[in-house]
Chain A
């Protein structure tokens, strides 16, 4: 029996670390590639400002690379932290580690990809408007920092999965661990990309109409923040499953419930995340073009995002019904 338990733990660790770094690296790598590609395009158009453009590209890639660094840190922890320091016991440990890998890997995929778009737009913007290079770079860094929120949530959930003992036992605990990982990880995919799309629109707007940068950045921050609501629902369901599900059925029924709730809220958040990111993207361009109507655009944007997120709310209702009602 001991032998089997040990094997489950190793399987979980290997799978978890692979998923963490595999998925977590892809997003950031693609994002950095987008930035470099746009920088090349800019160099072709404006070879004289290559110094400023190179600086913007490197800063953008460095900030945009931090989701993959989160994934690397968690991946190393998953592989090398001794079993005694981890929460849970026997085969539950394998599930917890696998859940942590799912959460961080998928969560960092979205944010990493999302951070690439504003970096690319910033390189292009510096080429278009070299005198405003510092304003454009500033806008890029702020946009990227907020676009990283989903990956920070994912890091929190995976560290909780690794280090905080669970409240349920048996098969239900396996479901809770993997379900929480899916809820957070897949749930952060869409919002990460969506926030990146929003930041891209804002950076482009700042480079075209630098005088309106204050209004544009305000619209961007609100648009990104509201667009991240699906990731927050994922985090909420993960928290509920990890800390508040003492009386879930211990057997396979509990497993199915927790797993289903995680899948519902996770995948349910992908579409709304990208959709509200697109809405906020247009909102940023509109604000940059007509800053005098900034407040009106912001209110319209907020209502539109709230409606486009109703599908994420349906997913949340289904997840909560699975956990509490059925």
Chain B
């Protein structure tokens, strides 16, 4: 049971009493992220090593995946040309693959590897990244001024009104601006805490229930559900939310 506390706030290298370096940077997360990156790179390199017109098994898988995501991105963004939609494909596809493999890391039976997504720093930085990209694309697509004046509320850019109504419309920005800014920040919080809570919660539930049943039979099914099923669903949800935030900002 003491693993639970260890999982939540790590201060020491597991199994030792050596404190974590750099003011408590979770080296396990950094290490696991590197493992995920290397694994992903290796798998994709192996699959695409011998590219041919008639694809082999590995190339087939990768092509199916990329095709499905191409379809997903273009049907969600609905920009006018295929090239404009395709610009987002590398970001969305690699984000999904990274999250998927990160969530699956909980299945590795080693105390030195844990899901990078069970660390709030990882998911929060990915959420910030999604928001920055969405804001940048929105500002590019609509013009910086008109994009940010949307934050000032619907009455700010009301041109038809005159006199007192116009002044009141401009004053309403004082009310709408902080709310909209907080709403944007809340998006970052919700997208990152959702992934973090689900992955961390699944891991903790597996630990607790496994301890209660003396690690017999049940943990296999729990791993299948919480690691593979919930992990896939949540990776997809995070990716789709990033895509939808971009779509809302751009349109």
Contacts and interface: CB of A to CB of B under 8 A. Distances in A.
Q: Determine if chain A interacts with chain B.
A: yes
Interface of A: 70, 73, 76-77, 81, 85, 142, 145-146, 149, 152-153, 155-156, 159-160, 163-164, 218, 221-222, 225-226, 228-229, 232-233, 235-236, 243, 294-296, 298-299, 302-303, 306, 309-310, 313, 316-317
A68 to B, nearest CB: 13
Contacts of A77: 208
Interface string B208-251: 11001000000000000100011001001100110010011001
A159 B1 CA distance: 10
Interface residues of B, number: 41
Given A164-B5, A295-B75, A152 B248 contact: no
Contacts of A295: 75-78, 247
A70 to B, nearest CB: 7
B1 A163 contact: yes
Contacts of A222: 237, 240-241, 244
Contact of A156 (B76, B186, B200): B200
A299 B247 contact: yes
B198 interface: yes
Contact of A164 (B9, B77, B230): B9
A221 B183 contact: no
B189 interface: yes
Nearest to A164: B5
24 contacts: A73-B212, A81-B1, A142-B233, A145-B230, A152-B202, A152-B205, A153-B197, A153-B198, A153-B201, A155-B205, A159-B204, A164-B4, A226-B241, A228-B194, A232-B190, A243-B9, A295-B78, A298-B76, A298-B247, A303-B248, A306-B187, A313-B182, A313-B183, A313-B186
Given A225-B237, A294-B75, A299-B251, A155 B244 contact: no
Nearest to B236: A221
Contacts of B240: 218, 221-222, 225
B120 to A, nearest CB: 8
A141 to B, nearest CB: 8
Contact of A299 (B9, B201, B248): B248
Interface of B: 1-2, 4-5, 8-9, 75-78, 179, 182-183, 186-187, 189-190, 193-194, 197-198, 200-202, 204-205, 208-209, 212, 225, 229-230, 233, 236-237, 240-241, 244, 247-248, 251
Nearest to B76: A295
B186 A229 contact: yes
Contacts of A155: 201, 204-205
B5 A233 contact: no
Nearest to A306: B183
Contacts of A146: 233, 237
Contacts of B186: 229, 233, 309, 313, 316
A310 to B, nearest CB: 7
Q: Of B1, B189, B237, which is in contact with the most chain A CB atoms at under 10 Å from its CB? A: B237
A146 B231 CA distance: 11
A313 B194 CA distance: 16
Given A164-B9, A295-B247, A299-B244, A70 B190 contact: no
